[in-house]
Amino acid sequence: MSRSTILNRGRQRASESFIDACTIDRLTSATTTDDLTGVVSPVYAAATYTGPCRVQIGANSSSGGRAESGEASVVIFGVSIQLPVVGTENVERGDRVTITASVNDQDLVGRVFYVENLFSKSEATSRRLGVVEAT
């Protein structure tokens, strides 16, 4: 069996775990101003990706770990979003990820994250994005 066949099978298996959905869009240089409040808001371009994803939140995620703060040791929960490899090639740092559906955790729906890290490897079965939550 060829490496390509094995990789394609791995990608197919990984895609079976993408039971959540998200939209990824990109900030433009434009802004809009609310006529009533004067609040200036950024403008996002049309979605660069809309489709299945998987959300992982926990100390074992790509950007999680332990840190020292004074004399205290704290756990930092990393968040990663996993996407299919094919069709998500143009994701960039700073892109906004909005969770639009979640089968097993409705609290994820509507949460917004920003891409902070792009993890790449030559034979990945999924595209992993290190993200931070919008607060």
Could you give the count of Cα atoms lying within 13 Å of 3 in the half-sphere of its Cβ?
A: 3
Strand duo 40-44 + 65-69: pairing: unpaired
- Residue 69 above 60 pLDDT? no
Beta strands in the chain (DSSP E): 20-25, 27-33, 40-44, 49-58, 65-69, 72-76, 78-83, 96-101, 112-119, 127-133
Q: How many domains does the chain have?
A: 1
Report the CATH number that the domain containing residue 38 is assigned in CATH: 2.40.10.270
Which tokens in the block code for residue 10? 């791995």
| Residue range(s) defining the domain that contains residue 16 | 3-133
pLDDT tens digits, residue range 93-130? 999 999 999 999 999 999 999 999 998 888 999 999 99
Quickly state the pLDDT bin for 51 (edges 50, 70, 90): very high
Rounded CA separation 70/92 (Å)? 34
Query: Once rounded to an integer, what is the mean pLDDT over residues 41-60?
Result: 86
- Residue 66 above 60 pLDDT? no
